[in-house]
Amino acid sequence: MKDFINVLYRNHALAYKVLLFICTTFLIVYLFPKSGKFKYNFEKGKPWQSENLYAPFNFAIKKTDAEIATEKQEIKDKVPLYFNLDATVKNTVSNNFDRAFKSLFPDTLGVYKLSILKSAGNKIIDKLYHFGVLSDDFTYKPTKKVILLEGRVEKEQTQFGNLTEENELTEIIVKVLEVDNLLAYKNEFTSLFFDLVEPNLIYNKDFSASVLQEELDKVSYTRGSVERETLIISKGEVIEGVKFQILKSLESEYESQVWNKSNYIWIVFAYTLLVALALLMLLLFLQKYRLSVFENNVKVTFIFFNVAFMVLVTTMVVRYNSQYVYVVPICILPLVLKAFFDARLGMFTHVITVLLLGLIVPNSYEYMFLQIIAGIVTILTVSELYKRANLFISVGQITLIYIVAYFAFFVIHEGSIETLQWETFGLFVLCGLATLFVQPLIYVYEKLFGLVSDVSLLELSDTNSKLLKELSNKAPGTFHHSLNVANLAEAAANEIGANAMLVRVGALYHDIGKMKNPTYFTENQSTGINPHDELSPVESASIIVNHVIDGIEIARKNNLPDRVIDFIRTHHGTSVVYYFYMKEKKVNEDLNIEDFMYPGPKPFSKETAILMMCDSVEAASKSLKEPTSTKIDAFVETILNKQMSEEQFLNANITFKEIQSIKKILKRKLTNIYHLRIEYPE
């Protein structure tokens, strides 16, 4: 047991990756839809590509969603509405009318006139309550069937248009009075009946809903059936009409029958194999081509997290409504990975993720084609993510590619553009807008995972930042030297395709350790006094070497990213402080060279190697007297060849060809800096 724990401890990084791999695999499989997959791919209007298909079992032919919706709508139109009728309301209104009539119309009108007016009022009441007065306003069609209930017993059937709504009161009064030539009394009757009329019909919502549901439950979702071994479709036959619906029914029935208790474990196992295989390819890619990323558990976790996150979001959208699957901004994944790593890693991870998503989305081939093409465009168009204009232009190009590719697929499937669903293009526009969320997402990832993107590097390159301001105040010579090194290093990085922004930032901060003892470095000795004159060569070398350690401490206190601290650690590699070493050797032959060596490590990337070259060349160039092009060329060759002979670049993935290109850049830049100028007259 103790031996096992020791082995596990020694290989804890690998054990973590295995655990991460297993957890991510099971998480993605858990998110997948719980159904089998129909083994045939088919599209409406296209020929059947497989062999003759016979029914593997008995199954019912399902109606289309449109057919079912039509049937349900017809039932909703036919099923009557039920209203409770209160017969006592009419009598109450009549009695109230008799009492109000006597007070409204004076006896001076005469008996005959009063009888005519009263008769008109009774006609109005009969007209209003012939079928009944509604208590609320409704929006049903006038032809909608209505059944009036009195004490749960059906009393009468009519149409909704025959019922009286309260807003029709004035219209009915006018019609009755117009027939009897009594329009002169319109205002009196209107004010009277607006106070007297009460509704006697109340909508029985529960009973109406129960009757409707009872009829809807009778709807059949199938029409006919197919017997086992019946020929469904022949090879080359066009899939359309009834054939298409039979195939869709078989697909649905097949998936529902495949996913049952007896083979649940087998299907989960098959899904697990596919997901594990895809994630394994991603790990192998990292191990073979991105070893530095593979060895960093935080970075591996970050990559796997993004893959799982994209699967989670897409799965949630598919479960809600698969029509919105193109709203999910999948292209955020290659954008994020390119911002933190490189284009090749971003593209490979994007393809693996799209392959996984192909298992859960409808029209998987169309989906994967669109997303892979969009991912390629993303990688090719976004070069400098920290420039907002570049991001907007790239998002516009991605959206255009989506629209063009979808249009092409639609024409291939349908053969025309008459039924083109233009709202789908709106989904692609929303996807493009969602892709712009990558900027705040990168910021969140930087804080959560401690990674550094070009956006943060741009902020760090600001010479007005607190730390660089402090450097310019305490060690102005070092600050000026750092600016020169940054310019040289950036030019060299651009020449060989390295990360120019990263190496520039590294150059700006590589000598911040000199702030602790600035006067011990020649570029800051403005008074002509050299404090090294009072120290032994060993003590002087110790102070010079310690500026690397001091720089790391200052960087960590100021929360500089590890990628920037790497430049501080490696910019001298394991080289020797040669001046003090030779000075001590003159008086002491038996000296330890390690006392004069920087602690290292050696540069382990193109960027850190570039900084070492540019730092050494720029610092030593100050000692050139009457520099000429020939002197500068020999000077650069001597310094870089010495570093190569000391194997300082052994761990950096930089080639001889790239070093030669860097030499050319440094020679040209230094020649421009130290070119002779004409002598101005006094």
Same domain, 94 and 145: yes
pLDDT digits (tens, 9 = 90+) for 34-56: 555 566 667 677 677 677 888 87
In a domain, 10, yes or no: yes
Contacts of 183 (CB under 8 A, 6+ apart): 174, 177
d(CA 115, CA 118): 5
Question: Of the ranges 311-315, 369-373, 411-415, 662-666, which one carries the lowest mean pLDDT score?
Answer: 411-415
Percent of the chain beyond pLDDT 70? 92
Closest by CA position to 177, among listed 129, 118, 133: 118
Contact 301, 406 (CB under 8 A): no
d(CA 350, CA 282): 10
Confidence of residue 260 (pLDDT cuts 50, 70, 90): low
- Selection from 396, 413, 71 nearest residue 215 by Cα: 71
* pLDDT surpassing 50 at residue 492: yes
Q: Higher confidence at residue 170 or residue 33? A: 170
Residue 324: is its pLDDT beyond 50?
yes
Residue 59: what are its φ and ψ, rounded to 5°? -155, 155
Q: What is the mean pLDDT of residues 310-336?
A: 88
| pLDDT at residue 675 in the model | 60
On whether the pTM is more than 0.75, the answer is: no
478 in the same domain as 408: no
| Nearest residue to 296 via CA among 305, 284, 287 | 287
Between 557 and 248, where is the model more confident? 557
Residues 335 and 315 in one domain: yes
pLDDT band at 348 (very low <50, low <70, confident <90, very high): very high
Last residue of a domain, one of 449, 478, 506: 449
Place of tokens 């910021």: 443
Q: At what angle do helices 364-381 and 343-357 cross, to 10 degrees?
A: 170
The overall average pLDDT reported for the chain is 84
595 lies in some domain = yes
CB atoms under 10 Å from CB of 497, counted, come to 10
Structure-block tokens of residue 366: 């169309």
Quick one: angle between helices 562-570 and 537-557, nearest 10?
A: 170
Alpha-helical runs (H) found in 290-342: 291-294, 297-320, 332-340
What's the whole-number mean pLDDT along residues 416-424? Answer: 72
245 closest CA partner among 62, 408, 427: 62
Give pLDDT tens digits for 594-629.
878 888 799 988 999 999 999 999 888 887 777 778
Identify whether 510 is part of a domain: yes
In a domain, 505, yes or no: yes
User: Do 419 and 559 fall within a single domain?
Assistant: no
Share of the chain above pLDDT 90, in %: 25
**Rounded distance, CA 401 to CA 354, Å?**
17
621 in a structural domain: yes
How buried is residue 121: exposed, middle or buried, by Cβ count under 10 Å (0-12/13-18/19+)?
buried
- Higher-scoring residue by pLDDT: 250, 290: 290
Q: Poorest-confidence range of 58-72, 305-319, 323-337, 478-492?
A: 58-72
Concatenated DSSP letters of 130-159: TT-BBSS-----TT-EEEEEETTEEEEEEE
DSSP code of residue 80: P
Give the pLDDT band of residue 8 (cuts 50, 70, 90).
Answer: low
Other beta carbons within 10 Å of 585 = 14
Among residues 89, 41, 57, the alpha carbon closest in space to that of 225 is found at 57
55 & 84 share domain: no
438 and 487 belong to one structural domain: no
* Helix spans in 341-475 (H): 343-357, 364-381, 388-414, 423-435, 438-449, 454-460, 466-474
How far, CA to CA in Å, does 353 sit from each of 134, 279, 296, 328, 399?
60, 9, 21, 13, 20
Distances (CA, A) of 530 to 55, 511, 519, 579: 96, 19, 8, 14
What's the token pair of residue 497?
Answer: 């395709």
On whether both 351 and 391 belong to a single domain, the answer is yes
* CA atoms within a 13 Å half-sphere pointing along the CA-CB vector of 58: 3
Q: Is position 238 within any domain? A: yes
Secondary structure of residue 231 in the 3-state scheme:
strand
Q: How far apart are CA 213 and CA 216, in angstroms?
A: 5
Assign 114 a pLDDT band (cuts: 50, 70, 90). Answer: confident
DSSP 526-590: -SS--GGGGS-HHHHHHHHHHHHHHHHHHHHHTT--HHHHHHHHHTTTT-B-HHHHHHHHHH-SS
Residues 101 and 115: beta-carbon distance below 8 Å: no
- Amino acid at site 22: I
Give 10's pLDDT tier (boundaries 50, 70, 90): low
- 3-state SS, residue 223: strand
205 and 126 in a single domain? The answer is: yes
Measure the CA–CA gap between 646 and 574, rounded to whole angstroms: 9
Contacts of 549 (CB under 8 A, 6+ apart): 513, 599
Q: Residue 354's closest CA among 339, 336, 376? A: 376
pLDDT of residue 302: 94
Query: What is the per-residue DSSP string for 26-37?
Result: HHHHHHS-SS--
Residues with Cβ within 8 Å of 353's Cβ and at least 6 positions away in sequence, in order, are 307, 310, 311, 330, 333
- Stretch 552-567: mean pLDDT: 91
| Cβ-count burial 520-537 (b if 16+ within 10 Å, e if not) | bbebbeeeeeeebeeeeb
Element (H, E) at 172: helix 169-179
Within-domain flag for 136: yes
Q: What's the number of domains the chain is made of?
A: 4
Distances (CA, A) of 328 to 310, 332, 431, 443: 8, 9, 6, 20
Same domain, 100 and 19: no
Say if residue 247 is in the same domain as residue 276.
no
Query: Binning pLDDT at 50, 70 and 90, where does residue 5 land?
Result: low
> Is position 617 within any domain?
yes
- How far apart, in whole angstroms, are the C-alpha atoms of residue 97 and residue 126? 12
CATH number of the domain encompassing residue 557: 1.10.3210
Neighbours of 573 (CB within 10 A): 26
Residues 224 and 198 in one domain: no
524, two tokens: 């800051």
Residue 24 predicted with pLDDT over 70 = yes
Determine the Cα–Cα distance for residues 450 and 560; give it in Å rounded to an integer: 10
Q: Do 93 and 195 share a structural domain? A: yes
Query: Looking at 258, 288, 312, which one is the last position of a domain?
Result: 258
3-state secondary structure of 40: coil
Residue 128: pLDDT over 90: no
Amino acid at 215: E
Using the CB atoms, write b or e for 5-40: b if 16+ within 10 Å: eeeeeeeeeeeebeebbeebbeebbebbeeebbbee
pLDDT, tens digit, 9 for 90 and up, residues 493-517: 999 988 888 999 999 999 999 999 8
For residue 674, pLDDT over 90 is answered with no
* pLDDT tens digits, one per residue of 446-475: 888 878 877 788 888 888 889 999 999 999
Q: Are strands 53-54 and 231-233 parallel, antiparallel or unpaired?
A: antiparallel
User: Considering only CA atoms, which of 298, 363, 287 is closest in space to residue 325?
Assistant: 363
Residue 292: which domain range? Answer: 2-29+264-449
The phi, psi pair for 180, rounded to 5°, reads -90, 10
pLDDT of residue 678: 45
Average pLDDT over residues 281-287: 94
